[in-house]
Structure 1
Amino acid sequence: MQDASRSWDDGAAAELARLRSVVEQLPAFVDAVEGPELRLVALSALSREHSQRPEWRGLPLAEVYPELVSQGVLDVYRQVVRTGRPFATPEWRFELVDPVSGEVTELVLDWSAVPWRRPDGTVDGVISLARDVTEQVQARRRAEREAAEAGQRYRAVLDVVTELQHALLPGSVPVLPRVDVAARDLVAGAEQSAGGDWLDVRPLPDGRVGLAVGDVVGHGVAAAAVMSQLRAVLGDSLDTTADPAAAVARLERFAETLPGARSATLVVAVLDPEGGTIDYVTRGHPPPLVVDASGVGRLLLGSGGGPLGSGPGGPPQRAPLGPGDVVVLYSDGLVERADRSYPEGLDELTRLAEAAAVGQLWPTGTSASAVERICTDAVEVLVRRGWDDDVTVLAAAPREPVAVLRTSAAATEEALPRLRSGVREWLRALRVDPGDELAVELAVGEAVDNAVEHGFRFLSSGTVVVALRLGADGRVHVRVDDDGIWQPPGDRGDRGTGLGLVHSLGDDLCVDGQPSGTTVTFSRRLCRPVSTALGAGTARVPPPATDEPFTAELDGEPPVLRVRGAVDAFGAARFREHLDAASRAGTVPVVVDLTGVGHLTSVGVAALTDLLRDAPDAVTLVAPTGSPAAFVLDLVGLPRRPAAPG
């Protein structure tokens, strides 16, 4: 009898050892926690390898992985324990911090968590299983980028109603000198696409900024049409009155004549960065959330009153704003969920906005701007379990005035790239749309090229001064001065080509020629894209550096001329020489690869135009979508390929 018992014990021990061996060799992250403090009792080999934490057994999960607290992971564990229901989600992004080196590892996991039950059926803990799909997700993202590079910028099947909604909503928000603004707009599932959520940002003449978020009842074309009309009327009212109460009163009168506008909700605010206040009106809509510089949030009081068409609302409200405060306006789709109450949704929004505002939500963060972190990081965590309605978020924060950029350089091949680099860095610090960045840098480069080409043609030296000022209207006002002597109009047949390009890139172009030099001025409205995708903030891929000197190299068969650096007034003659040599004056096929060109002005465009005119079937221009060269070629209508053949 004793031998049988020992044999049974030995068999159970062997089975347990085999089971442990199986778990250890699983290509998955496995862990088990128990008790109210979620203490770790088991980790698979892969989990231990990634954790780099030798002391973990028996410790609370929050102590071993503190970074997972703000990422919403512990909330899932507690939910499983509380409800006894399993949880599963694909492609959940985790960020783990090495406790020694501080190095951050980003993982994308297909993750599930199931209740760990006692023999009596009660839940005592959680067993978690996750499969690493980081490489697959990265490969898919690369494929998506390559598809976009090939010109496949839209989904094969795009719901026309969703496309209509995006066309009616602003695709960008203005870049302003005293207020930092960011926004995000997420459309619900295809069966509920094109809802009535909308947002607007209106720079006002006195430096104040009008902000609005609204929601029209329903979905589809009708809701999108009502939304666009309400937005247009409210925007005009804010431009005219600069008063949120007066603007909403006018919108109320308009809504009486517009079927479908009744029951629309909205919050309208005017932010005064100079006075440090926000005046606002809510009509059946969640009130603004304010997060201060230390990461403490507070929900403001609503102004009272129901949606449009329900009668007069209450008086407008005013709240003070301190340095570093962020104002967040949002639609109720951000906080309403079937699995939680509305107050719980507001609490979660406040908590995540607090963490995002001070950069504590993700170890790596996604932006240096608090408004962008709230619109990307906080929203990602809030909605990654899904959302039932459209989500619109608008964040704004007063800031110190943007300093005027004033830089000068000698009119030499070595100095001008540094001047352009200064312009580019100033624009990037403002986080402007990449298209605006390229347009302004190109326009400045054209104005500088004109000074070199026309003002200093017969002078041994000269100086160019560039000044950029961001106006309260969201326009960058550019001034380029030189101390050269320009030739009279008509002396050169190609005079005006570069300035024509500047005119197409900016507004209010003015050229003032004087005996002591010439001044070129123009302006352009600067914007920042509204994020419309779920996931971490889209990484900004900078264009190739524009500070490299001009070089060109011919290789391959058929020949490929690879050009790098700046093709400006100083590099134009050499560029033409290389083009003629590579194509043998247009007699042999040649590929001109402009991938490495960081700055292409009208003198380079003229050389390419001449080559294409002489041998249109023998020349292929290559410039990747989004690059400076592609921007210019598309602007002037020259054909290009996004990648070199083969």
Structure 2
Amino acid sequence: MELGADAGTVPEAGDRSGGHAGAPVDVLDAFESVPAIIWAFEGPELRVVAANTGARASAGFRPGIVGRPIREVLPELEGQQIFEMMEEAYAAGRPVSAENRRVLVDRDGDGLLEEGFFTYTFLPTHHADGTVRGLVVHIAETTAQALRQAEAERAAAASERRYRHASEIVLELQRSLLPTGVPVLPGLVTAAHYRVAGDELAAGGDWFDVLVLPDERVALLVGDVVGHGAGAAGAMGQLRAVALDALHAGETPAAALDRLDRFAARQRATRAAGVCLAVLDPATGELEVAAHAHPPPVVVDPAGGTRRIEPPATPPLGTGGPAAGWVRDRLAVGESLLLYSDGLVERAGRPLGETVASLAETVAAARRDLDDRVLDDTSLPSSGVERLATVVTERMGFLGEGYEDDVTLVLAERRPMPEPFELVRDAAPTVLSAVRRGLTDWLEALGAGDDDVDALVYAAVEAVTNVVQHAYGGVAGTDGAERPVRVEARLGADGAARLTVADAGRWRPPPRGPVAGGRGVQMMRELTDDTVIEQGSHGTTVRLGRRLGRPVTIGVPPPVPDPRPREEKLTVDLDEEAGIAVLSGPVDLTTADQLRAQLLQAGRGGTRPLCVDLRRVTVLSSAGVQLFHDLAELMPELRLATGPDGVAAAVVELTGLGPLRAD
């Protein structure tokens, strides 16, 4: 409390009056000596009735504080929510507390504010009848602790940033060295998953590949370099490059392994690596496997039965051991081959044989669970091999607290050879939707990635559009035999889809001049690996080729994408006030004329700005591209919204419409 005239008479030392409650002098001494800030207030104005030494010191020993409202005593606290907390405690009659509040205080009474951190407890006091009398406030200054904690948090945040930066460098390096996809092949569906170690800085040592050999067999590789981090990632990249070079050059698989062994011995970073190489003939199922210090592959059949393929034990690469021995097997249609790195099965304190057996059981159970027993409403991938890879990776991680090392899985499942795609129709605009639907279904059944599906379907539709527009004078007949267009597609053993679009007509000049047809051919060439146009007296044949692939999964599998849009009718949602037209569906030969009239009307013939939103467009063909070029001449303030990626964004940039983009 404040001493002096306001405080009354101070008891003499040694006065022990006051009964069992304690002598006043002792109470006063205790109150003054409490190592905290203590205030006592009375009444709704919270007038000061007592303040210990800590409280008076915190206020710069300001005179005449007793009897005055706290708002007058400490005016610098106005607006810092301290008075509001006091009033809340008084009004509610219940304690209110706050921890580590930053408060600006005038410690010296000189009008200058200093920063402090305080923990507050506001405790109501009561009259005999239970009504609130006032407050006792206990305040502990925590400035030193708060500053230490803030410094520690800053240091931790900086360390975390450095750690994340290092992790990102390692992972980016690894992504740049690993394949981005696996081939789509007739009779064989493959998938590859790479999971980063629990400690991301431990990443870097695993590698894998799936490639078609010159003799049309398929090589599947999984390797593991000793060590982690950027150095291991670099060593992994070197070994992968050597293996790919040897196999692409036509060396036998055994010669390729020998070459890899010799290379690994040249430097410490690559020495003692492990590798497993499986060579499979998709047509016959004949399988050969060899390994250097690598876990054995597992085969799982459609019923969930498993077997291990164990080649002769061979020391790690580059350690001077003998050449790898080979073991032969046969993969039946419906069976899956699983290659994996040791990170999938190595667990501290558990024998490797035990965890490999657990893997076989896990694969078997997953195969049984995933075949016709999983409801459609699932976040699992739709592809069977992708599902199996996802579930096996997740379940094997349950054996411990995640993975202590990188994990790589490569799955290959034999399937029946696919039937080719064939369609013969009358060269009328309605054939475009049939080509889109049929070819999309065929490519998706093969397991092609979305980018390949979009590219090939676009290219094929462009070729068919040219037939409809030009091969028969622009007039479609009623008899498909008189004005036919034939579309065929086959998947080669090298993983390339080859499409043929053929007609029996004689091409006429395009109705809008050569530029319209030129854009269609340009799009075909950009979207395929090779485009060949053969014209003769019996018609024109367009041959399109593109090597198919499916993305690999690096890290956690991405969310399952929404179903691919299959809209075959164009809809236009017009907001006249905002000047926006949102398109959904195909913008092609069948819808371009309808759309031309609607957009000209929406833009009032070019007298008002119009933004056309293409983000929900499923097809933007050369006929649609020509439409927007024509409209741009008539409507100077026409803009196209495409988003950063997707169907429309790619076509707009490819065909010279980029300057019209609104985003």
TM-score greater than 0.5 by the shorter chain: yes
Q: 1:605 aligns with which of 606, 612, 625?
A: 625
Structure 2, unpaired ranges of 5+: 1-163, 478-482
Asked if 1:363 is matched to 2:374, the reply is: yes
The answer on whether the counterparts of 2:291 and 2:325 sit within 8 Å (CA) in structure 1 is: no
> Which residue of 1 is the match for residue 493 of structure 2?
472
> Which residue of 2 is the match for residue 215 of structure 1?
224
Provide the secondary structure at the position in 1 that maps to 2:578.
coil
Cα 1:491/1:416, change in 2 over 3 Å? closer
> Which residue of 1 is the match for residue 336 of structure 2?
326
> Which residue of 1 is the match for residue 588 of structure 2?
568
In 1, the alpha carbon distance for the partners of 2:607 and 2:350 equals 72
> Which residue of 2 is the match for residue 542 of structure 1?
563
> Which residue of 2 is the match for residue 440 of structure 1?
456
Residue by residue over 1:141-161, the C-alpha shift from the partner in whole angstroms, topping out at 9 and shown as x without a partner, is: xxxxxxxxxxxxxx9997122
The answer on whether the counterparts of 1:205 and 1:472 sit within 8 Å (CA) in structure 2 is: no
**1:282, distance to aligned residue in structure 2 (A):** 0.6
The amino acid that maps onto 2:500 is R
**1:591, distance to aligned residue in structure 2 (A):** 2.0
Cα 1:513/1:335, change in 2 over 3 Å? same
Q: Where do residues 426-437 of structure 1 align in structure 2 (5 Å cutoff)?
A: 426-437=442-453
In 2, the alpha carbon distance for the partners of 1:528 and 1:464 equals 30
> Which residue of 2 is the match for residue 347 of structure 1?
357
> Which residue of 2 is the match for residue 244 of structure 1?
253
**1:568, distance to aligned residue in structure 2 (A):** 1.3
Residue by residue over 1:248-300, the C-alpha shift from the partner in whole angstroms, topping out at 9 and shown as x without a partner, is: 00111222334411111100110123332211111011111111222111122
**1:215, distance to aligned residue in structure 2 (A):** 0.6
Cα 1:353/1:558, change in 2 over 3 Å? same
In 2, the alpha carbon distance for the partners of 1:501 and 1:323 equals 38
Cα 1:241/1:636, change in 2 over 3 Å? same
Bigger mean CA deviation after superposition, 633-642 or 552-561: 633-642
In 2, the alpha carbon distance for the partners of 1:367 and 1:161 equals 27
The answer on whether the counterparts of 1:283 and 1:303 sit within 8 Å (CA) in structure 2 is: no
The answer on whether the counterparts of 2:486 and 2:502 sit within 8 Å (CA) in structure 1 is: yes
> Which residue of 2 is the match for residue 382 of structure 1?
396
**1:186, distance to aligned residue in structure 2 (A):** 1.1
RMSD: 2.8
Q: 1:254 aligns with which of 252, 263, 266?
A: 263
The answer on whether the counterparts of 1:198 and 1:213 sit within 8 Å (CA) in structure 2 is: yes
Cα 1:388/1:249, change in 2 over 3 Å? same
**1:524, distance to aligned residue in structure 2 (A):** 0.5
The answer on whether the counterparts of 1:543 and 1:628 sit within 8 Å (CA) in structure 2 is: no
Cα 1:583/1:186, change in 2 over 3 Å? same
In 2, the alpha carbon distance for the partners of 1:192 and 1:509 equals 45
**1:635, distance to aligned residue in structure 2 (A):** 4.3
Cα 1:340/1:276, change in 2 over 3 Å? same
The answer on whether the counterparts of 1:192 and 1:389 sit within 8 Å (CA) in structure 2 is: no
Asked if 1:273 is matched to 2:282, the reply is: yes
Q: 1:392 aligns with which of 408, 425, 437?
A: 408
Cα 1:158/1:465, change in 2 over 3 Å? farther
Provide the secondary structure at the position in 2 that maps to 1:495.
helix
Provide the secondary structure at the position in 1 that maps to 2:310.
coil
The answer on whether the counterparts of 2:197 and 2:404 sit within 8 Å (CA) in structure 1 is: yes
Q: 1:294 aligns with which of 285, 299, 303?
A: 303
Q: Where do residues 43-442 of structure 1 align in structure 2 (5 Å cutoff)?
A: 159-189=168-198, 191-241=200-250, 243-310=252-319, 311-338=321-348, 340-360=350-370, 363-364=374-375, 366-367=380-381, 369-383=383-397, 385-442=401-458
Q: 2:598 aligns with which of 578, 581, 595?
A: 578
In 1, the alpha carbon distance for the partners of 2:638 and 2:350 equals 62
In 2, the alpha carbon distance for the partners of 1:491 and 1:563 equals 27
Asked if 1:506 is matched to 2:525, the reply is: no
Cα 1:236/1:442, change in 2 over 3 Å? same
In 1, the alpha carbon distance for the partners of 2:345 and 2:448 equals 29
In 1, the alpha carbon distance for the partners of 2:303 and 2:251 equals 30
**1:433, distance to aligned residue in structure 2 (A):** 1.1
In 2, the alpha carbon distance for the partners of 1:610 and 1:157 equals 51
In 1, the alpha carbon distance for the partners of 2:305 and 2:437 equals 38
In 1, the alpha carbon distance for the partners of 2:553 and 2:436 equals 28
**1:398, distance to aligned residue in structure 2 (A):** 2.0
The amino acid that maps onto 2:621 is T
The answer on whether the counterparts of 2:428 and 2:476 sit within 8 Å (CA) in structure 1 is: no
**1:545, distance to aligned residue in structure 2 (A):** 1.3
Aligned residues: 487
The answer on whether the counterparts of 2:186 and 2:282 sit within 8 Å (CA) in structure 1 is: no
> Which residue of 2 is the match for residue 449 of structure 1?
465
In 2, the alpha carbon distance for the partners of 1:581 and 1:591 equals 13
Q: 1:630 aligns with which of 649, 653, 659?
A: 649
The answer on whether the counterparts of 2:167 and 2:201 sit within 8 Å (CA) in structure 1 is: no
> Which residue of 2 is the match for residue 528 of structure 1?
550
The amino acid that maps onto 2:328 is R
Larger radius of gyration: 2
**1:206, distance to aligned residue in structure 2 (A):** 3.1
**1:369, distance to aligned residue in structure 2 (A):** 4.6
Provide the secondary structure at the position in 2 that maps to 1:298.
strand
Residue by residue over 1:303-358, the C-alpha shift from the partner in whole angstroms, topping out at 9 and shown as x without a partner, is: 22111112223421112222322111000111112364322321221111112223
The answer on whether the counterparts of 1:621 and 1:640 sit within 8 Å (CA) in structure 2 is: no
Bigger mean CA deviation after superposition, 568-577 or 416-425: 568-577
The answer on whether the counterparts of 1:558 and 1:589 sit within 8 Å (CA) in structure 2 is: no
The amino acid that maps onto 1:424 is T
Percent of aligned positions that are identical = 40
Cα 1:193/1:517, change in 2 over 3 Å? farther
In 2, the alpha carbon distance for the partners of 1:320 and 1:456 equals 52
Asked if 1:559 is matched to 2:573, the reply is: no
